[in-house]
Chains A and B, each alone.
Chain A
């Protein structure tokens, strides 16, 4: 399922406690073009609420969230 969305950049954020993943992603998304997709892999459960709140306020879009094997993976589209 996960390969249905092609990621233009992947960030491995495993082991980082919140809010570090959201800080890294907010920097990382500026390194891709508008319309491209960033894949972020985290292990911290706080990301499940932090990422959607960040996406809503920063104007980006979470295309998909996947959980399994202790990993939480987000596909985030840069909208602006």
Chain B
């Protein structure tokens, strides 16, 4: 590696070295309490899947260049040069970690492995060796924000084609089955760019007679997955600008854990509230704005807490409140809530060429589901849904993986 490249990468590293990061890198005692917390290690007990191991390369580079001992005695102790070998190790660590932050719950010092992996990802982006597909998807999202007029008409046409299916679930009448561009709406619903994410939610919001409008942009933030802070902000900004332009009161994020966490917790205070669609469904039920038929969907049903919306986002009881209305045959996974095991698909991992890894490291989740004897696994995140479906196929678990919105939409009781 030439000097200019090394300096560039060290500048990137430096940009991440705030007080919390220095603390995370300084205080680890290698006690190993984090290892059993990791879903990957729980499935395949290889040392390289432990959080402490994943953090070690970043920690050693930090020691080499940003500690006094490393600068004075670079060949002494556990410091590491930043070179091609180190970058390869960073890649293996960073893009096999879903950033679920379960290890943080068990670490006596609260070390945030996801934040440490964010350093690794930034160095890999600086080296242009991050997964190309994630950067490409992030760039496509940013492009849509820049040139919306080029894509608006085809999007509107695509949305029009969905209206029949919304009406079939909701059986109501409205001028706008899937409203767009409604200034002053209560809710701006930000879906994924797919029918499965729009039709059920539209049916529910129409059934609740809410004044809502659909975003032109997809919720998913590939900038966050790849670990690029600039792209993360640009992708989120498209939605923030749209919400401000339409003067909406609340931005509602679809079943996408990372999109919710970015908008709720990582973009600063905005002039609107941010909610997950599960919170909105719970509110509708609590206020009796929608009614659902209990046990129309036959159980037993369990619920997989998505890491980013539950442990890292705080949406824990609302999905359970919704499920209480849907079934009398609910059984919790063990462990659950903020201690739930990651499914292994988060952090954009489901978009990468890593099927063998995802299959192997999903074993703990498969066993957790099997133990419940549930026939349906509900969840509230696209990545989780994809990964759980993949595990279902590979391990023949015979469960049906369902989005909460779809279950609510299929259980709606329509007022006469």
Give chain A's interface residues, CB within 8 Å of chain B.
Answer: 17-20, 22-23, 26-27, 43-50, 52-54, 56-58, 65, 67, 72
CB–CB B151/A53 < 8 A: yes
Is B143 in contact with A49, judged by CB distance below 8 angstroms? no
Q: Give A72's nearest chain B residue, CB to CB.
A: B158
Q: Is the CB of A18 within 8 A of B136?
A: no
Q: What chain A residues lie within 8 Å of B154 (beta carbons)?
A: 48-49, 52, 65
Partner of B193, one of A26, A43, A49, A67: A49
Smallest CB separation, A49 vs chain B (Å): 4
Q: Does B218 contact A (CB under 8 A)?
A: yes
CA distance A9 to B220 in the complex (A): 29
Q: For the complex, give the distance between the alpha carbons of A49 and B150 in Å.
A: 9
Residues A18 and B192 in contact, CB atoms below 8 Å apart: yes
Interface locus among B34-42, B86-94, B194-202: B194-202
Do B155 and A49 touch across chains, with their CB atoms under 8 A apart?
yes
The 10 closest A-B pairs by CB, nearest first: A46-B193, A45-B158, A17-B194, A49-B151, A18-B193, A48-B154, A18-B194, A48-B158, A57-B139, A53-B140
B136 contact from A26, A46, A48, Cβ within 8 A: A26
A43 proximity list for chain B (CB < 8 A): 195
Is B15 positioned at the interface, with any CB of A under 8 Å from its CB? no
Count of inter-chain pairs, beta carbons less than 8 A: 85
Task: Verify A44–B143 contact, CB threshold 8 A.
Answer: no
In Å, the complex CA distance between A45 and B140 comes to 16
- CB pair A45 B161 closer than 8 Å: yes
Q: List residues of chain A with CB within 8 A of the CB of B193.
A: 18-19, 44-47, 49-50
Q: Provide the bound-state CA to CA distance between A34 and B40, in Å.
A: 40
A22 pairs with B140, CB closer than 8 A: yes
Q: Closest CB of chain A to B222's CB: distance in Å?
A: 8
CB-defined contacts of A19 to chain B, threshold 8 Å: 137, 192-193, 218, 220, 351
CA distance A18 to B155 in the complex (A): 13
Can you spell out 29 A-B residue pairs with CB atoms less than 8 angstroms apart? A17-B192, A17-B197, A18-B194, A19-B137, A22-B137, A22-B140, A26-B133, A26-B136, A27-B133, A44-B195, A45-B161, A45-B195, A46-B193, A46-B194, A46-B218, A47-B158, A47-B193, A48-B157, A49-B158, A49-B193, A50-B140, A52-B150, A52-B151, A53-B143, A53-B151, A56-B143, A56-B150, A57-B139, A67-B161
Q: In the complex, which residue of chain B has the Cβ closest to the Cβ of A50?
A: B193
Q: Are B194 and A53 neighbours in the complex by a CB distance under 8 Å?
A: no
Do residues A44 and B194 form an inter-chain contact, with CB atoms below 8 A? Answer: yes
Closest chain-A Cβ to B196's Cβ sits at a distance in Å of: 5
Q: How far is the CA of A17 from the CA of B198 in the complex (A)?
A: 11
Q: In the complex, what residues of B have CB within 8 A of residue A54's CB? A: 136-137, 140
Q: Which residues of B contact A20 (CB under 8 A)?
A: 386
Instruction: Choose among A22, A43, A45, A54 the residue with the greatest number of B CB atoms under 10 Å from its CB.
Output: A45
Chain B residues, Cβ within 8 Å of A50: 140, 193, 218
- What chain B residues lie within 8 Å of A46 (beta carbons)? 158, 192-195, 218
A53 touches B144 (CB 8 A): yes
Which B residues are in CB contact (< 8 Å) with A56? 140, 143, 147, 150
**Residue pair B159, A45 in contact (C-beta under 8 Å):** yes
Q: In whole angstroms, what is the CA distance A43 to B193 when docked? A: 12
B148-191 interface with A by 8 A CB criterion: 150-151, 154-155, 157-159, 161-162
Give the complex CA separation of A67 and B154 in angstroms. 11
Cross-chain contact B141 with A53 (CB below 8 angstroms): yes
